[in-house]
Amino acid sequence: MLNIKHLFSFVIGIATIAILTTSCGKNETSRTTGWDYNNPENGGFEVADVPNQIAGPGLILIEGGTFTMGATEENPFYEWDNPPRKVTVSSFYMDQTEVSNLDYLEYIYWLNRVYGEDFPLVVQQALPDTLVWRDKLAYNEPLVNTYFRHPSYHNYPVVGVTWLQANDYASWRTDRVNENQLIEAGILDFDPDQRGANNFNTDAYLAGQYEGLVNEGKEDLDPNGTGIRNVRFEDGILLPNYRLPTEAEWEYAALGLVGNTLYNRVVERRTYPWNGTGVRTDETKYYGSFVANFKRGRGDYMGVAGNLNDGSDLPGPVGSYWPNDYGLYNMAGNVSEWVLDIYRPMSHQDVADYNPFRGNIFTNKVKDVNGGIADKDSLGKIRYEEITAEEAANRKNYRKANNVNYRDGDYQSTIQADWLGNDDPESTSAMYEYGVTTLISDKARVVKGGSWKDGVYYLSPGVRRYLNEDEGSSTIGFRCAMIKVGSSK
């Protein structure tokens, strides 16, 4: 019998291909002016023939949608910082696994090769804190020296990395992937002699402040041009930035409801990244095996010899256990993970219902006296600064650069400003007196997912915890994400 739903999807797909074929071809004529695109004889306005985004290395597509974000079971500590709320998350890409020790060692090697001689502090500041393994009443000293660097742990998740370090890694990864994109496109050649400020940075390249070893270059169709030009972002060759996922993205991806829906209806609201309330698989061949790496009970990290339960006393390899319905590994257990958001206990009530996120600080590239982009810094990066009050003065969708504390942390955006006479927009300490009444500050970042050291409660994607952005832990790692541009499918 013909499946109407599949037939409809097929017809839509054929129609989409037809539209792309007629709208993005190199010889297309403008519907507005009737002039040909990509024709140097009439001015050379270019339209890239790249209808779909290229998926970056390590990433898989997470098709977006609506879901109920927040608690899926009762909190034993009576915290109420994640009340259920329906939100929509747009499609995005996410790492299939956590970032491994080998991934991070490659990063450290590159930093040492490029910056080690002139800027050794850059390398030192990027190193994970291996002392997180120490315990006053446990013999974990061998892990301090072996877990990050020994080849046996190459495929294990990197830990001891702060939120700040994770963001720096994501930025570095963006540049290395985009550099490789240009090399594969024949624009640049490999340049192993990059040092100091002379290294490929995506922003610097787009600003014309990195030349590199040009291979063939990009043909410039502008009759007033030089014949060869740098690639522009509009050419569709360069990828958007790698970054940490937002809390909403991470939770949505972890639940994997794409495999749990029927005709726009969620069949079962999951407690974990799998169906049911248990932590063992019902697959016949592996029946009863644990589906995640967690602490089963006090003193029980992996079970009894000869019949280990999850088989890992520490974090396990990044591709261990069963993936969820998006194909993501270890979205419950193994290591908890940093996400992009600032932590606030009432965020679920305050944030938007489309791509919810708390932590926006709006910036611009630093300009020179002539209004152009200022010279890159000594590390080869373009500098950014917060937008000014004048730039935000006439905006209706935001009024200042730093919106971290909006509606929760600054009196200016609450009714309390009127009767307390305090309209300081950065007055976080008045609500969150760090070290006295709370451990929440503007450095508190959300941590999601349970770890090898946590009980089963923390395996639920809706659970929220936090840690300061400049601290690391033996139980916290991370993975990267990237926006999906164009179609959501």
State the pLDDT at residue 412.
66
State the pLDDT at residue 80.
83
Residue 56 burial by CB count (10 A; 0-12/13-18/19+): exposed, middle or buried? buried
State the pLDDT at residue 17.
43
Give, in order, the Cα–Cα distances in Å from 178 to each of 182, 201, 216, 289, 449: 6, 9, 17, 41, 30
* 8 Å CB contact between 65 and 92: no
Q: How is residue 412 annotated by DSSP?
A: G
State the pLDDT at residue 5.
45
State the pLDDT at residue 432.
75
Residues whose CB falls within 8 Å of the CB of residue 256, separated by 6 or more in sequence, listed in order: 270, 273, 274, 324, 325, 326, 328, 331
State the pLDDT at residue 198.
94
Tens-place pLDDT, residues 208-266: 999 889 888 888 888 888 888 889 999 999 999 999 999 999 999 999 988 888 887 78
CA pair distance 291, 281, nearest whole angstrom? 6
Mean pLDDT for back-to-back runs of 10 residues, the chain (489 residues) = 46 45 59 90 86 89 94 81 93 98 98 96 97 96 96 97 98 97 93 94 95 86 87 92 98 91 79 83 71 88 80 90 94 97 92 96 95 95 95 91 87 57 58 80 94 93 96 98 89
CA pair distance 156, 103, nearest whole angstrom? 10
* 8 Å CB contact between 347 and 440: no
State the pLDDT at residue 424.
54
Q: Tokens for 195?
A: 């040092």
**What residue segments make up the domains of the chain, in order of their start?**
1-51, 60-185+237-359+442-489
CATH of domain 60-185+237-359+442-489: 3.90.1580.10
State the pLDDT at residue 429.
63
CA atoms lying within 13 Å on the CB side of residue 316:
24
